[in-house]
Structure 1
């Protein structure tokens, strides 16, 4: 398996968990206010170092929002590995504060998950694929790690996490660059049998994949079909009650973060 990752170690970690500043002189932006949608039950944990700043993406040909979160107690996150965050079609990084992602991260670390950084940028509604001169996938592959490296994060250890359209994008990213990511976590990925993710599913061999989808989600049958089509069994495949929203996704974030943290952290030397 890629990076010498112990699959049993990931499975155990997933099972156990189931039970604003500036960069480079840029002014931090405020995170968005709540909207009338199902929201996750956010844990009572501090956010740590959470930042949202504008930055120019050459790959997208525009200014985007660059968001990062470091678990509380780990300062500015220097030396920590990174999980790249790919949002769904109805969200942007400005929503991550109200989703409580930084607080979920701190809570996971408090519960024993090895620390890591979350980092994401605005990908638009292109399913994280190129459209003309706008290439959000290249932004994630090339620019996002470079921006993270400027902050001192360890970009030699990367994973990806996304939901809905972002889940599709995270899986497609792992297929496009086999072996680049140490793990992929996808919540209710917007996949359909016969699409690009299914077509190249064999390229996920060696990349640990975790899949979660609610039983009341319209994508459930296709996500389950994807789990069966993977070249290796997923390290996590969870189908519990829930719909296609953060009311459900919030319930499985702890499980995913435990998996991701384990994948990003090498085991102690013997």
Structure 2
């Protein structure tokens, strides 16, 4: 049986960073990334915006440890089901790829389970979130460590074990994970229903630009703050991806900004994953 980290924080109350560090490190033996991060891929720890997390109940939110053959090590495996939907059996899946200064152990602190419950309460078709710790390799393989293969093969298999509907999978990531979800989709576009990328850490000359045409026909939505260092590159990438939609607003490369746009992304993801999602016209994620 996989080791499970108890997430016993009550509705309306967030686990503080100290508790996440203690539980993620001591209980699981897996450390959370510290402050010495790649500046270009920072996860906004200087401006967290926790007050923007909806004050709604959690559903079934779990943090377990799984052995990843692709990464050659145990990894944290996170799942969240919206409140009122039991253990999530039969629900489609959004795979979550984190940025460089985060791990899956941070997802409860980021309020993902509460954003999910809030989305469903607003009428978004229900889905589950699932993610695992991928290190800082830009979700690219490096020697025997292959977080991309973990995301493409092992994450769906772990989700299927839980009874989730892995015939309907979408992708969501931010910063380094935003780059990661785009690359994952470019390599197997038929495997996914949609891609949502927040402030993807991309640069001209990246493979993500060269393979952008492979995303034709796949609903892709990009978000980026105008004060973000990746803003110009994201604008250029939008033009390379056939049919991509994008939203640009005031904001930097921070969790505060990402928390403001998470509701719009969950609306986009939930509707594209719904049974009628393939026939639903892709709309702009928000005002430009």
Q: Provide the TM-score with structure 1 as the length reference.
A: 0.87
CA contact (8 A) 2:4 2:62 kept: no
CA contact (8 A) 2:67 2:73 kept: yes
> Aligned to 1:263, which of 265, 272, 287?
272
> Aligned to 1:34, which of 2, 17, 20?
17
> Aligned to 1:243, which of 240, 249, 252?
252
Partner of 1:138: 149
Q: Which has the higher contact order (CA 8 A, sep 6+)?
A: 1
2 CA distance for matches of 1:246 and 1:207? 26
Structure 1 position 29, deviation (Å): 5.1
CA contact (8 A) 1:179 1:206 kept: no
Structure 1 position 47, deviation (Å): 1.5
Structure 1 position 37, deviation (Å): 3.0
Partner of 1:167: 178
The yes-or-no answer on 1:103 pairing with 2:114 is yes
Q: Secondary structure at the match of 2:149?
A: helix
Structure 1 position 245, deviation (Å): 1.1
2 CA distance for matches of 1:244 and 1:219? 8
CA contact (8 A) 1:85 1:119 kept: yes
Q: Greater shift after overlay, 40-49 or 71-80?
A: 40-49
1 CA distance for matches of 2:165 and 2:177? 23
Gap regions ≥5 residues in structure 1: 1-23
Q: Greater shift after overlay, 135-144 or 28-37?
A: 28-37
Gap regions ≥5 residues in structure 2: 10-14, 19-44, 280-288
Structure 1 position 34, deviation (Å): 2.9
Moved over 6 A (4+): none
1 CA distance for matches of 2:85 and 2:46? 32
Q: Provide the TM-score with structure 2 as the length reference.
A: 0.82
Q: Deviations over 1:208-243 (max 9, x none)?
A: 10000001100000001000111x222x31100111
Structure 1 residues 239, 25: closer, same or farther in 2, change over 3 A? closer
Q: Secondary structure at the match of 1:27?
A: strand
Instruction: After TM superposition, list the pairs within 5 Å mapping 1:39-188 onto structure 2.
Output: 39-40=48-49, 41-188=52-199
